[in-house]
Every structure is written in structure tokens, then in C-alpha cells.
Structure 1
Amino acid sequence: MVTAPTSSHREPSPARAKLKTEGYAKGDAARQRVLDAALLAFGQAGFKGATTRQIAEQAGVQLPAIAYYFGNKDGLYLACAHEVIARYRARVGQAAEHALALLQPPRPTDTPSPRSAQQAYDALSQLIHALVGLLVGSSESQRWTAFIAREMGSPGPAYQLLYRDLWAPGVDLVTRLIARVQGPADDTPAALAQARVQAVLLISSLVRFQSGRELALQLLQWPRIGPDECATIAAVLLAPLQPAQR
């Protein structure tokens, strides 16, 4: 005997499917609002100073939403770090991948390229321009550079995550590019140490530039930081690193 299908086996109606999709979209939007509010709150007050209640109010959600999306305050803080890393990779990833490919060891059949220093400088220039655009020229970074600066100055729960997935590989990449620009003759422990200092100063200066944005604008007498200003900043940073003419 054939029976009619029960409600549990029915295909969802278009209206119900639409409501489900809208529900997911609203959930994603609420989660993002919490992340944005948390990045700002943690950047301003630190992990201990910011409260989940304040973050929920700023994000326009009920307090249980934080537990639903992130588990607890620690989970929210680590999610902020993952969000920052994801934004870095989205904006700088292409330039970083190009630089990493350039730095791969040559095959035995490859002939040395007399332009290797210039190629390294070009890759470094592309990477620095991308970093300047993200850290200084982007309005979105204003929401989370204080979070980064606070972790740098006063390590919190996200420090090791940021160090492992962002700072250490970023500084290592810039160090290797600077060393390649300087040439094989400078491939010594002392020269590599100097290149690493240059890389740390270069990257940290961009973070500090953004965290002191208003002061920088006043001192430079710039009404804003647009493409031209970003190009000027990148050019100044790159000027001491240009390869010597051989």
C-alpha cells in the first residue's frame, strides 16, 4: 500500500528555503558585527578591560550570541586574531606568494640571474605597497590595528597565534627579500641579522603609523591618506633598500 509522504520527507518549500538562507545571512552578519565590535573593544581596553556585555551592546546583539558564535570571551579574542590574519592574507597574500616563489632555491640546471637583486627589490616593493595600502591606506584597518599594537606591547591570549601565523612569517619573508637585494656577498649571519632588524623596523613602523594616524596626519599636514600618500610612504620606506648598481 502506498501512503502519502509525511511532512518530514517533504521537500522544503521555496518560501521556507528562502527563510533558511536569510537566517544564515543574518547569522553571518551578526557574527561579523560582534567581531568588529570586539576588535575595537579589545584594541581600546585590552583583553581584561573589555567586557562581553559591552561588546554585545556595541554589536547590537544579545549577550548569549557571543557564547553561541564563539563559546566564551577567550574564543572571541582568538577569533579576532584569526580575523586579522585572514584580512592580511586576503590583501597581501598575492604579493607574498610572488615573493616566496622568487625566493625558492634555484635548480641545479638554472643559471645565475644577474638581475636577481632587482627582482627581489621589485617583489619587496610590491609587498611593501600592499602592506602600506592595508595598514595605512585602508579604513578597515583602523578597527583592528589597535588590537595588533596592544598584542605587540602587552601580549595577551592571541600573541602566540599572531606570532606564529602573521609576524614571524612576515618578518622572515621581508628579511629574506632584503638579504637578496643586498646580494650574495652579504649572505652572512651578521648581514642577515641586520636585514632582520630592518624588516622588524619597517613592519612595526607601519602598525605604529596607523595607531598614531591623527598625529601623523597633523604632522605631515595631510587631510587624508589616499593613494598618493600611500605611494609616498612606500617610496620613503623602500628608498634605503634599493639595490646597488653593479
Structure 2
Amino acid sequence: MSEMKRGRRPTQGGYARGDETRLRIVHAAIKLFGERGFEAASTRDIAARAGVNAPALQYYFANKEGVYRACAEHIADVVWERFAPVVQSANDKLASGADTPALIDAFIDIQRVIAERMFLSPATASQRLFFVREQTGQEPSIASEILQTRMRAPLNRVGTELVARIGGTRIDDPVTRIRLLSLHGQMMVFNVAPRSALTLLEWTHIDAEKSALIQRTIEAQTRALLNLWAEARTAGDDGRSRGAGL
């Protein structure tokens, strides 16, 4: 995969214009890659969608692979900027040995950001299509590598540790990871299969009111499951304690 071209940068007041043009190209490319896939989206079409000519696109990116890399980097940076505070807070609670209710709240806080990104962010629609195509494994692997390193790995790491600590399982236990996937999967169905979800709910779209209902329902289910696993852990600990005293 070719590296992104580090083209000449405009001087003085041109920096802002250059950054704006580059970002406009990236936004257009995310939409086209999502709509058509990597192979079908041409640099000419991306340039036209961004309102620039083909040489302008080549000025910032060496080729289509470079544009695709920039799209993944942009998405990872934007998404992680929102997740960083709640992930840091969760890590702080884990490091300090916070109690179970605080750990459950930390998990819920992360899930709220996921829901916010999914239902309320204006950029989510085009990014969702980009993600769905990337997840099929038929697009260039560089996007998966960037998104995994910068976004998914740290999110999965803290989520897995929270679920493990709350439920009393090992971090590397498949049960822990299945639990994490099941909790996040409650929301992901609206992301990867929106048409099926809308059909079942007999909705034509998801507005702010419906989004709030989804989030409240999922939060209640998540909290109930985490509390259930915590209670099972406590019951197991009590049983071992009684056995040790016999």
C-alpha cells in the first residue's frame, strides 16, 4: 500500500485554505468509499464530489490508496477524541480499585458515547457505510489496521477489563469477551442492520425521541446484566469463603 503523499504545503494564509481543501477531499472520499467501495470509487469522482480538480487531489495524496488511508486516519482521530475522556476515566477507576457500582457507571459512560456517535453524530451515516465495507474484509486492510490500533483496541481493552472485574472472570476468558460483544451488540444491530431494525420496530426513521428510547432501553439492559454478573461473582466468592471456613 502506497504511503500518503506529503505534498507541498501553502505558506502563511494558505495553510488554512490547504487544510480546508484536504479535509473536504477526505469527507467526500469517506462518502464515496462508503457508497461504492474502494474499487468503484475513482479519484476523479472523489475530486468532483469535493469540488476540486484531479491535480488538486494529487497535490495532497499520492493516489487512491493515500486518500483511503487518510479517511481511516481522520475517522480514527475524530472518534477517539470523543472516547478518550471516558476511557481515561474508566482506566483511572480500574487502577484505583473502584467498587462495582463505579465500574458499572464507567462502562455505561463508554456505551453512551457509542450511542451518541451512532445516533446523534451528523457524520455517522457516511462513516457507518465506510465501517460496514471495511468490516467485510474486501477493502484495503490499511483501514482495519488503523482503526484497530487507534480506536478499537483501546476501547476493547478497557471494556474487557471492566466486564472481567465486574463479573469476576479472567480478561482472556472467552466468556468475558462474549459478554462484551453481547453488550455492545445491542447497539450495533442498529448500525449494521438498520433496515431490519426499522422494519421490526415499524419505524420509518430514528429521530431524537426514538434514539433516546433506544438508549434508555439499552442502558437499562446493560446495567441489569452487569449487576447480575456482579451478583453471581459475589455469590461465588461467598461460597468459596464458607467452604474455606469449614
TM over 0.5: yes
CA offsets per residue over residues 12-70 of structure 1, 9 Å max, x none? xxxxxxx953x333322222221111111112222212111111111111111221122
Structure 2 counterpart SS, 1:164: helix
| Identity among equivalent pairs (%) | 30
CA offsets per residue over residues 65-114 of structure 1, 9 Å max, x none? 2211222211111111111111211221111111111222x5xxxxxx6x
1:94 and 2:75 equivalent? no
Give the TM-score normalised by structure 2.
0.76
Give the TM-score normalised by structure 1.
0.76
Structure 1 counterpart SS, 2:39: helix
Q: In the alignment, what sits opposite 1:56?
A: 47
Q: In the alignment, what sits opposite 1:9?
A: none
Taking the aligned partners of 1:225 and 1:132, their CA distance within structure 2 comes to 13
Q: In the alignment, what sits opposite 1:120?
A: 103
User: Which ranges of 4 or more aligned residues in structure 1 deviate by more than 6 Å?
Assistant: none
User: Post-superposition shift, 1:215?
Assistant: 4.2
Kindly indicate whether the alpha-carbon contact (under 8 Å) linking 2:166 and 2:226 is maintained by their aligned counterparts in 1.
yes
1:220 and 2:201 equivalent? yes
Taking the aligned partners of 2:202 and 2:120, their CA distance within structure 1 comes to 16
Residue identity matched to 2:84: G
Taking the aligned partners of 1:234 and 1:84, their CA distance within structure 2 comes to 25
CA offsets per residue over residues 190-215 of structure 1, 9 Å max, x none? xx321112223444554442243354
What number of residue pairs does the alignment pair up? 215
CA offsets per residue over residues 132-176 of structure 1, 9 Å max, x none? 111233222112111112111225232222222222222121111
Residue identity matched to 2:174: A
Q: In the alignment, what sits opposite 1:241?
A: 226
Residue identity matched to 2:155: G
Kindly indicate whether the alpha-carbon contact (under 8 Å) linking 1:136 and 1:206 is maintained by their aligned counterparts in 2.
no
Q: How does 1:1-246 map to 2 (within 5 A)?
A: 20-21=12-13, 23-104=14-95, 116-154=99-137, 155-156=139-140, 157-183=142-168, 186-187=169-170, 189=172, 192-203=173-184, 206-222=187-203, 223-226=205-208, 228-229=212-213, 230-242=215-227, 244-245=230-231
Taking the aligned partners of 1:137 and 1:96, their CA distance within structure 2 comes to 20
Kindly indicate whether the alpha-carbon contact (under 8 Å) linking 1:124 and 1:177 is maintained by their aligned counterparts in 2.
yes
User: Post-superposition shift, 1:127?
Assistant: 0.6
Change (3 A) 1:74 1:188: closer
Taking the aligned partners of 2:171 and 2:62, their CA distance within structure 1 comes to 48
Change (3 A) 1:204 1:49: farther
Structure 2 counterpart SS, 1:144: helix
User: Post-superposition shift, 1:218?
Assistant: 4.2
The structure that has the greater radius of gyration is 1
Kindly indicate whether the alpha-carbon contact (under 8 Å) linking 1:81 and 1:162 is maintained by their aligned counterparts in 2.
yes
Change (3 A) 1:210 1:51: same
Q: In the alignment, what sits opposite 1:4?
A: none
Structure 2 alignment gaps of length 5 or more: 1-10, 235-246
Kindly indicate whether the alpha-carbon contact (under 8 Å) linking 2:80 and 2:150 is maintained by their aligned counterparts in 1.
no
Taking the aligned partners of 2:129 and 2:176, their CA distance within structure 1 comes to 26
Taking the aligned partners of 1:151 and 1:35, their CA distance within structure 2 comes to 16
Kindly indicate whether the alpha-carbon contact (under 8 Å) linking 2:170 and 2:176 is maintained by their aligned counterparts in 1.
no
